[in-house]
Structure 1
Amino acid sequence: MKYIISSLLLFAGITSFAQSTKTINQSGNPIFPGWYADPEAAVFNNKYWIYPTYSAKYKEQVFLDAFSSDDLTNWKKHEHILDTSAIKWANKAMWAPAIVEKDKKYYLFFGANDIQSDNEVGGIGVAVSDKPEGPFKDHLGKPLVDKFYNGAQPIDQFVFKDKDGQYYLIYGGWRHCNIAKLNKDFTGFDPFDDGTIFKEITPDKYVEGPYMFIRNGKYYFMWSEGGWTGPDYSVAYAVGDTPFGPFKRIDKILKQDPTMATGAGHHSVIINQKKDKYYIVYHRRPLGDTNGNHRETCIEEMNFDAQGNILPVKITKEGVKAQKVK
C-alpha cells in the first residue's frame, strides 16, 4: 500500500509539473512532432501558419502537410494539403513550399523532382486553393520554372511582395539565386525593362533557401549556407535598397550550437507588424543523429540593434512565448 501511495504521489507530482510547465506558455523546440524541414511561415486570418517539407527520402517526399496556430505554442496539423496525385508531373522530392494570398486565393509554390539538368521534368510548380489548409490543385499543369537559368537549380522558391504590390519569385539552389517578376495571375513572368526574365542577385557565400523582407525601408535578404546534411548549415543575410540589391553579405545570424543542436538553417520569418515582433522559423538536427533527413522545425525570437542589424539568434529548447496575432 505504501508503494502504491508513493507511486500515486509521484504521478501527481509529474502531472502537476507538466501542467505548470504548460502554463508558462512557451512553444518549446521543436514546435511540433515529426521530421519536418524548410519551414515557410505565414499569417492568414489571424492565425500563424507553417508549411514545411516532409523530411524523408526523396521518393517518400510526395506530399506536403501544414500546421496552424493561434498563439505560436499550440499547433494543429493539416495533413496532405498537397500531394503528387494533384500534380501529375511531380513524382518525388516535393519540398520547400512558399505561400502567398492574392485576390482571396492561396498560391502554394513548391519544388519537385530535384532536377539535375534542363532535360528532366520538374522544377518549381504552383498550386492554388480557396483556403490556407487546402486542398490545393495544380495551377498550371506544368512547372513554372523548369530550366537552369544563370546556373540556379529551380528549387527553394520564395514569393516576395514589394511595396508597390509587385510580386517576385526569388529562388535558386547550386549557389545561384534569381529574381523574376511574376505576372498578375501567377501563370508566368513579365519581363524586366531590359527584356530579361531572370536576374541573378546572388550574394557572397549564398547556397540556397532565400528569404526577403522589408524593415524601415531596407530590403533584408537572407539565405542558407553550408551543406544541408551537415552540422554547419546556417543562415546569413545582407541588406539592400531594392529587391535587386546589390547585396553585400553582412554576417551569419543563425547556426549550430554544439550543446543544443546542429544544422540550423533553411528558415523563414514571422513578422507581427502590430507588435513589432520578429520570429525566425527554421529546422535543425538533434545532437548525435546522423540521419540526414532527421530535421525538426523550431522557432526563436529575432531581434535587431539600433542600427538595424540582425542580432545573432540563440537556439533554445524553450522556443518563444505565446503570442496572438493581434
Structure 2
Amino acid sequence: MAKDVYEKTVKFENSASLCETITSLNWNASSQSFHYISQLLGLPQYHYHTLLGLTVSVGGITESTVNFSSQSLLNYLKGIQDDSVALTQFGDTLLSIFRDNLHNDRVNIPFLKMLNLLLTNGCFEIFNTQENHQFCVDILDLCKELRKSKDVTKLNACIAIFCGLMQFQGEVRKKVLSQLLMLLCHYFPVVRRSTASQMYEMLLIHDDVVDPELLDDVLTLLSDTDWGNDLDTVRVHRNQLCDWFGICRPRVVAKNTQEEKQFTNSVDVKARASTETRCKNKAMQQRKPHTNPKTPAYPTTEALRACGGAVVQLYD
C-alpha cells in the first residue's frame, strides 16, 4: 500500500522526500502520522476508507488521538473551502459513511461527534449559499432515525447536530427546530434537560431564529423551566415555545411502545406457563401411585383433558 500511495501522491510532495517520509515516519505517533493520513482524502481511491478511519479517531475517547486527528481533518477542510466540487465530494462521502453505519454504534456515535466538530467550525458554510441544501436535508433525515434510540449518549449527540444545523437557512431550519421541540418532551428527563441547555446556547449564536422581541422570553423559559418535571407539566412550556417559534405543536399519539408490547407478550407467556403447571400438578394428584418407583409417574390423557385442554405434551 505504501508504494501505491507513493505513486499516487507525487503531486503533493517531491517523490524522493515522500518515499523517505513513508519509510521513516513513526506511524504509531499520532502527532506525526495524522498530518499525512489526512492527505489521502484528496485521493478518490482512498477517500471513503480514510474518512471512515478518521471518523473513529476524531470521535474517539483518547485525547491525543482526538486532538491530532481533529486538527489534521480541519486543516484539510480549510484547504478546500474554495473548491465546491471537493467539498461536495467530501459531504457525499460523509453521508455514505453515515448511511452505511447508521445502526453501528462503533461508528455512528464517533461520526456524530466528528460532524458536530465540523459544523461548529463552519466547515460547510459554502452550503449556506443554497437554501435547503441536499447535504443538510440528508443529515437531518438520518439523525431523525437515530432520534428514536434510547441511548442517551447518542441522543445528546443528535441534539448537538440539530443545533449545528440551525446555521443553515430555509425549510430545513424549521424542520430541525421541530425536532428539538419534540425532544423537549422526550421520555427521558436527562434528554429534556440536555435539549433545553443546548437550545439556549444555540439561540445565543443564532438569535435570528426567533422574533427579537420574544428572544428574552424564550431564553428565560428555557433556562428557568425544570425540564425534569412530569411530561404534562413540561408539555405546557414546550407548547408555549412552539407558539413563539411559529412551529405547529406536536400531537400526542396514544400507542403502545415496543417495550409495552414486549412486556405484554412476556406476561402472556408466563400466565400460560403457570396454567400448564397447575394442570400438570392437578393431573398428577389424580393418578394412582406408580408401581415402579424408578419410572416417573406422568399424568393420564383423561386427567389432562380434565384440565381444560391446556397445551401440554401427552405421555400416555
TM-score (norm 2): 0.24
Identify, as 1 or 2, the structure richer in helix.
2
Which fold has the larger relative contact order, with Cα–Cα distance below 8 Å and residues 6 or more apart in sequence? 1
Larger radius of gyration: 2
Identify, as 1 or 2, the structure richer in strand.
1
